[in-house]
Amino acid sequence: MGAAIAVRQNRYISAFTAAEATSPQRASSLEQLGQRDSWIFRRLVAAGVFVRAGATEFWLDERAAAEFMERRRRFALETVGALLLIFALVMYWMNR
Protein backbone atom coordinates (compact mmCIF):
# COMPACT_ATOMS: atom_id res chain seq x y z
CA MET A 1 0.00 0.00 0.00
CA GLY A 2 2.75 2.46 0.94
CA ALA A 3 4.57 1.87 -2.33
CA ALA A 4 1.41 2.60 -4.31
CA ILE A 5 0.99 5.90 -2.47
CA ALA A 6 4.61 6.86 -3.18
CA VAL A 7 4.07 6.07 -6.88
CA ARG A 8 1.01 8.34 -6.99
CA GLN A 9 2.88 11.11 -5.16
CA ASN A 10 5.74 10.81 -7.66
CA ARG A 11 3.28 11.03 -10.58
CA TYR A 12 1.88 14.32 -9.30
CA ILE A 13 5.36 15.74 -8.76
CA SER A 14 6.54 14.55 -12.19
CA ALA A 15 3.49 16.01 -13.94
CA PHE A 16 4.04 19.46 -12.46
CA THR A 17 7.79 19.28 -13.09
CA ALA A 18 7.28 18.29 -16.74
CA ALA A 19 4.84 21.18 -17.21
CA GLU A 20 7.33 23.52 -15.48
CA ALA A 21 4.54 24.53 -13.09
CA THR A 22 7.07 25.48 -10.42
CA SER A 23 6.09 29.08 -9.73
CA PRO A 24 2.85 30.97 -9.12
CA GLN A 25 3.08 32.45 -12.63
CA ARG A 26 3.28 28.96 -14.20
CA ALA A 27 0.58 27.32 -12.05
CA SER A 28 -1.60 24.66 -13.66
CA SER A 29 -4.74 22.78 -12.78
CA LEU A 30 -4.80 19.04 -12.24
CA GLU A 31 -7.11 18.74 -15.24
CA GLN A 32 -4.62 20.55 -17.50
CA LEU A 33 -1.96 18.04 -16.44
CA GLY A 34 -4.17 14.99 -16.90
CA GLN A 35 -4.31 14.32 -13.16
CA ARG A 36 -7.28 13.95 -10.85
CA ASP A 37 -7.88 15.25 -7.37
CA SER A 38 -7.40 12.71 -4.59
CA TRP A 39 -6.65 12.52 -0.90
CA ILE A 40 -3.02 11.85 -1.87
CA PHE A 41 -2.83 15.16 -3.73
CA ARG A 42 -4.59 17.00 -0.89
CA ARG A 43 -2.04 15.53 1.53
CA LEU A 44 0.76 16.91 -0.65
CA VAL A 45 -0.95 20.31 -0.60
CA ALA A 46 -1.20 20.15 3.20
CA ALA A 47 2.52 19.29 3.33
CA GLY A 48 3.31 22.39 1.26
CA VAL A 49 4.58 20.44 -1.76
CA PHE A 50 1.89 22.04 -3.92
CA VAL A 51 0.74 25.61 -3.38
CA ARG A 52 -2.67 26.92 -4.44
CA ALA A 53 -2.43 29.78 -6.93
CA GLY A 54 -6.07 30.21 -7.86
CA ALA A 55 -9.41 28.46 -7.68
CA THR A 56 -8.11 25.29 -9.32
CA GLU A 57 -4.46 26.05 -10.08
CA PHE A 58 -1.44 24.85 -8.14
CA TRP A 59 2.31 25.06 -8.48
CA LEU A 60 5.06 22.77 -7.26
CA ASP A 61 7.34 24.12 -4.54
CA GLU A 62 10.50 22.27 -5.56
CA ARG A 63 12.27 22.86 -2.24
CA ALA A 64 9.29 21.55 -0.26
CA ALA A 65 9.03 18.57 -2.64
CA ALA A 66 12.70 17.69 -2.13
CA GLU A 67 12.30 17.94 1.66
CA PHE A 68 9.13 15.82 1.56
CA MET A 69 10.82 13.13 -0.52
CA GLU A 70 13.85 13.12 1.78
CA ARG A 71 11.58 12.63 4.82
CA ARG A 72 9.77 9.82 3.01
CA ARG A 73 13.09 8.15 2.11
CA ARG A 74 14.42 8.50 5.66
CA PHE A 75 11.21 7.02 7.10
CA ALA A 76 11.45 4.02 4.76
CA LEU A 77 15.09 3.42 5.70
CA GLU A 78 14.36 3.70 9.42
CA THR A 79 11.44 1.29 9.08
CA VAL A 80 13.55 -1.29 7.24
CA GLY A 81 16.33 -0.87 9.80
CA ALA A 82 13.93 -1.41 12.69
CA LEU A 83 12.48 -4.52 11.04
CA LEU A 84 15.96 -5.94 10.45
CA LEU A 85 16.87 -5.30 14.08
CA ILE A 86 13.72 -7.04 15.29
CA PHE A 87 14.40 -9.97 12.98
CA ALA A 88 17.99 -10.26 14.23
CA LEU A 89 16.85 -10.16 17.87
CA VAL A 90 14.20 -12.82 17.28
CA MET A 91 16.73 -15.06 15.51
CA TYR A 92 19.25 -14.57 18.32
CA TRP A 93 16.64 -15.31 20.96
CA MET A 94 15.43 -18.46 19.15
CA ASN A 95 18.97 -19.84 18.79
CA ARG A 96 20.06 -19.38 22.41
Domain range enclosing 34: 2-94
- Quote the distance between the C-alpha of residue 25 and its chain's center: 23
> How many domains does one find in the chain?
1
- Quick check: 22 and 59 in contact, CB under 8 A? yes
Closest CA to 31 of 48, 10, 54, 64: 54
pTM: 0.79
- pLDDT, one tens digit per residue, over 19-76 is 999 999 999 999 999 999 999 999 999 999 999 999 999 999 999 999 999 998 999 8
